Structure 1
Amino acid sequence: MRILLLLLPIALTGCSVARAVITAPIKAGEAIYDAATESQEEADIKRGRAARKAEEKAARDARKAEKARDAEGRPYRVGGPR
């Protein structure tokens, strides 16, 4: 009986290794599925980020256009004032 109690921890260690080996393909499949799909929240975050970038670019372009005026307030032409 004592021998069985001494061997029990060794036997249980093998079970955890076997469980890890058996569940590894399932975990790999879950990781691939998560990488391949996009949740609604992730899609919303992406759209929000793209909208903010577009607004920032529009604001930069507006500031750039405002600075590109001559002394009388007329906008410069593409080649500059002539």
Structure 2
Amino acid sequence: MSSFVFFFVPTVIFLGLVLPLWLVLHYAATWRASKGLSEEDKQTLEATLNELDRVEERLQTLETILDAEQPDWRDRHSA
């Protein structure tokens, strides 16, 4: 009986206290580590922002051309 208690009590303590705390701390650390963007995501975001800047410049150029050729184009197409 004493050998049963000798193995049973530490096992219950481990499964009841140590293991849950260990798992919670492990997954909390993993979550914090993966919270930010990866390098690939940062590069993709930067490329998308650069492309967006180019598209915005082109749109402004087209609007300038339309303003010069058809001054009232905004009024006709704003409805």
Q: What is the distance in 2 between the residues matched to 1:23 and 1:58?
A: 51
Shift of 1:32: 1.2
Query: Does 2:50 align with 1:61?
Result: no
Q: TM-score, normalised by structure 1?
A: 0.54
Unpaired segments ≥5 residues, structure 1: 1-14, 74-82
CA RMSD after TM alignment: 2.8
Give distance in 2, aligned partners of 1:19 and 1:52. 49
Counterpart residue type for residue 54 of structure 1: D
Q: Which amino acid aligns with 1:50?
A: L
Once the two structures are aligned, what percentage of the paired residues are identical? 6
Structure 1 residue 61 displacement after superposition: 0.3
Relative to its length, the structure with more helix (as a share) is 2
What's 2:45 paired with? 46
Note the 1:3-82 alignment, pairs <5 A.
19-35=19-35, 37-69=36-68
Greater displacement, 37-46 / 18-27: 18-27
Distance 2:37 2:68 in 1: 46
**Runs of 4+ in structure 1 over 6 Å off:** none
Deviations 1:14-70 (A, max 9, x none): x5xx745521211111111211x4322011111111011101101110110101115
Give unmatched runs, 5+ long, in structure 2. Answer: 1-14, 71-79
**Aligned partners of 2:20, 2:56: CA distance in 1, in Å?**
50
SS at match of 1:63: helix
The answer to which structure, 1 or 2, has the higher relative contact order (CA under 8 A, 6+ apart) is: 1
